[in-house]
Amino acid sequence: MVDNPFLVKMRTHGDLDGQEVDFVRSLCQRRETVHAGTELAPQGSNPEVVWIMLSGLACRHKSLEEGERQIVAFLVPGDLCDLQVAMLGRMDHTIEAMVESSVATITVLEVREILNCRPALTRALLMANLIDLATVREWVVNNGRRAALARVAHLLWELYLRHAAVGLVTDHMYRLPITQRDLADATSLSNVHVSRTLTRLREEGVLQWSARTVEIKKPERLREIAGFDPDYLHGAGQRTEPHGLRDA
Amino acid sequence: MVDNPFLVKMRTHGDLDGQEVDFVRSLCQRRETVHAGTELAPQGSNPEVVWIMLSGLACRHKSLEEGERQIVAFLVPGDLCDLQVAMLGRMDHTIEAMVESSVATITVLEVREILNCRPALTRALLMANLIDLATVREWVVNNGRRAALARVAHLLWELYLRHAAVGLVTDHMYRLPITQRDLADATSLSNVHVSRTLTRLREEGVLQWSARTVEIKKPERLREIAGFDPDYLHGAGQRTEPHGLRDA
DNA sequence: CGCAGTGTTGACACCGTTCAACCCTAGTGG
DNA sequence: CCACTAGGGTTGAACGGTGTCAACACTGCG
C-alpha cells in the first residue's frame, strides 16, 4: 500500500515538521468506505464535514434538464472537498463517488483548529485550494477552445500528472475506473465521439485504456497533442515522469 | 456615486460592525486608476498585492497558440483578485483591465492581519472566494452544455445579477463596455456567432445592448432562455429585480 | 477625409451530435 | 455449462449547429 496520499500532497505544498505529519495522520483516522454512486454531498445539502479522498475516485457534477450532466472536477486520492462550503454554504453541485472509495472526514471544528494553530498546514491547504481553482479554469479553456482530440488528451494527461503527484502511477499506468460516458460528461462531448477519439489515440499508439487502467505509451506525444501547459497545477505535476514509484 | 461596491459586497456576506466597516473603507484608500488594456497581473508574475475592483471591468484570460484566448472570469466592481496567488503562487493566467478602472491595492500583510484579527471580514472573504469558485464551475457547464442562445443569455443574466448585487443596475440596465469578440472569448463561441445570437435576442425583444449598456427588457424570458439556476451565486444574486437602486 | 476597429450578413464547410444497429463482456440464473 | 440479459463500447449514416471566410456597413477618431 502506498503512503497516505493526503499526506503526500500536503508535503509537496510545504515542509511539515514531524508534529504536523503526525497531526495529518491523525486527521485521517476517521475513515469511511463508500460504494460507487454514493452522493457524498448532494446538491442543496449543507455538509458539516470536509472529506479527504484516500482511495478511489469521485467527481463533482451538475445536471441540467433531461438527464444531461456536466462533470466539473474529478477528485483523486489526496484531494479534499469543500473547505469553504462546509464552513458557510450549501452545495450548488453534487459530489459523487464513482467507484468504491475510502474517505476520511474531518469536522469543521478541526478545520478551524488547523487554520488557527497550524500555519504550515494552513498554507498547504490554501495551496491545494488554489490548484483546484486553477484546474477548473483550465477546464473552461480545455472544453471551450480545444478540439476533441486535444481535449481528451489534455484531460487524460492531467489525470496522469495528478495521480503521479500522489504516487499512484506505475510504469506510466494509472487506474481510471470510469466509463466513456463519464469522460464525455467531463469533456462536454458525446459518448460516441469520445469513443471515436479514444480509438484515434489508440491507433496512433499514444495510449491504451482497458481493464479500467490508462497506460500512457508516448507521454511526449500525448502532451503535444494536448497542448499541455502544466503551469496551472502549480508544481503539483512536476514529477511528470515518475520513475519506479511502485507500491511498497 | 454609489457606495463603495466592495463594502456593499462584504456586507451582503456577513454582518460587519461599525469598526469593521471603517476598516474596509480604510482598506480602499490606496487607489489607482488603470487604463484599458493594463495587465494587472500578467501570466507568470508573482503579485505582491491583492486588488479590489472599485469601478470599471476586468477579466481573467488564458491565451493559447495563434492568438486564440479564453476568458475565464469577469471582475466587476466589488470583486477582489487573488488572495491565494498573492500569498503563495504565480499567475497561471492574466488579469487585464477591459476599460479604464479604479482599483485599490491591499498588501499581503494587510490580508494576514484580516485573517488573524477580523473574523467577520474573513468570513465574508471566504464567501466571496466560494462564489468565485462556483462561478467558474458554472461556466464549465454553460460553455460546455448549453447552445449558443442559452449560453449568451446565461452570461448576460449572470452579469446582470452581479452588477445588481453591488448596486450597479438602474432600470434594468448595466454598463458592459466590451466588444462582441470579448463576449465570444468568454462563451467559447466565434465573434460572428455571438453577433447572430445577440441579433436573435434583440429581435425577440429580450434585451438591448448599445452604447456599451445592456438593457434587460424581459427579465423573466431571459432567465428562461438561459435556464438559469441562481444557486451558484449563493445569495449574491438574490436581488434579481432591483427596484430603483439609483445612484444617490 | 481616411482609417481602423467593430458589427452584420451570406455562403459554405466541417466537426461533433444523433440515431441506430451491432458487438463484446461480465454477471446471473437455470 | 449454457442461455439470457444489461451495460458499455464501436461503427456507420445523416443531420445540424457553429466556425470560417469574405464582403460590406457603421462608427468614432486622428
pLDDT in tens, B175-200: 999 999 999 999 999 999 999 999 99
Mean per-residue pLDDT for A54-58? 98
Can you tell me the distance from the alpha carbon of B7 to that of B25, in angstroms, rounded to the nearest whole number? 7
pTM for the full predicted model: 0.95
Res A2: pLDDT: 61
Asked whether the beta carbons of residue B60 and residue A137 sit closer than 8 angstroms, the reply is yes
Burial of B62 (0-12, 13-18, 19+ CB in 10 A): buried
Among A137, A233, A234, the residue to mutate for chain B (most B Cβ within 10 A) = A137
Can you tell me the distance from the alpha carbon of B247 to that of A165, in angstroms, rounded to the nearest whole number? 52
Among B177, B24, B128, which residue's Cα sits nearest to residue A89? B128
3-state secondary structure (DSSP) of residue B94: strand
Question: What residues of A are in contact with residue B136 (Cβ under 8 Å)?
Answer: 133, 136-137, 140
Q: How far is the CA of B74 from the C1' of C1 (A)?
A: 38
Neighbours of B149 (CB within 10 A): 17
Provide the greatest CA pair distance for chain B: 53
Over its length of 248 residues, how does chain B's per-residue pLDDT go in tens digits? 567 999 999 999 999 999 999 999 999 999 999 999 999 999 999 999 999 999 999 999 999 977 799 999 999 999 999 999 999 999 999 999 999 999 999 999 999 999 999 999 999 999 999 999 999 999 999 999 999 999 999 999 999 999 999 999 999 999 999 999 999 999 999 999 999 999 999 999 999 999 899 999 999 999 999 999 999 999 886 654 444 443 33
Would you place residue A235 in the very low, low, confident or very high pLDDT band (cuts 50, 70, 90)? confident
A2-11, A136-145, A206-215, B186-195: range with lowest mean pLDDT: A2-11
Find all residues with CB under 8 Å of A175, minimum gap 6, and list them: A57, A163, A168, A212, A213, A214
Asked whether the beta carbons of residue A43 and residue B126 sit closer than 8 angstroms, the reply is no
Report the sign of the C-alpha dihedral through residues A104, A110, A112, A113, in that order.
Answer: negative
Question: What residues of B are in contact with residue A72 (Cβ under 8 Å)?
Answer: 137, 140-141
Question: Over A77-138, what HEC string results?
Answer: CCCEECHHHHHHCCCCCEEEECCCEEEEEEEHHHHHHHHHHCHHHHHHHHHHHHHHHHHHHH
Place of cell 473552461: A140
Res A66: pLDDT: 75
Q: What is the DSSP string of B61-76?
A: EEE-GGG-EEEEEEE-
Asked whether the beta carbons of residue B84 and residue A129 sit closer than 8 angstroms, the reply is yes
Asked if B192 CB < 7 A from strand D, the reply is: yes
What residue type is A188 in one-letter code? S
Interface of B with A (CB under 8 A): 43-44, 60, 62, 64-65, 68, 70, 72-73, 84-85, 87-90, 92-93, 123, 126-127, 129-130, 132-134, 136-141, 143-146, 188, 227, 231-232, 234
Question: What residues of A are in contact with residue B60 (Cβ under 8 Å)?
Answer: 137
| A96 touches A37 (CB < 8 A) | yes
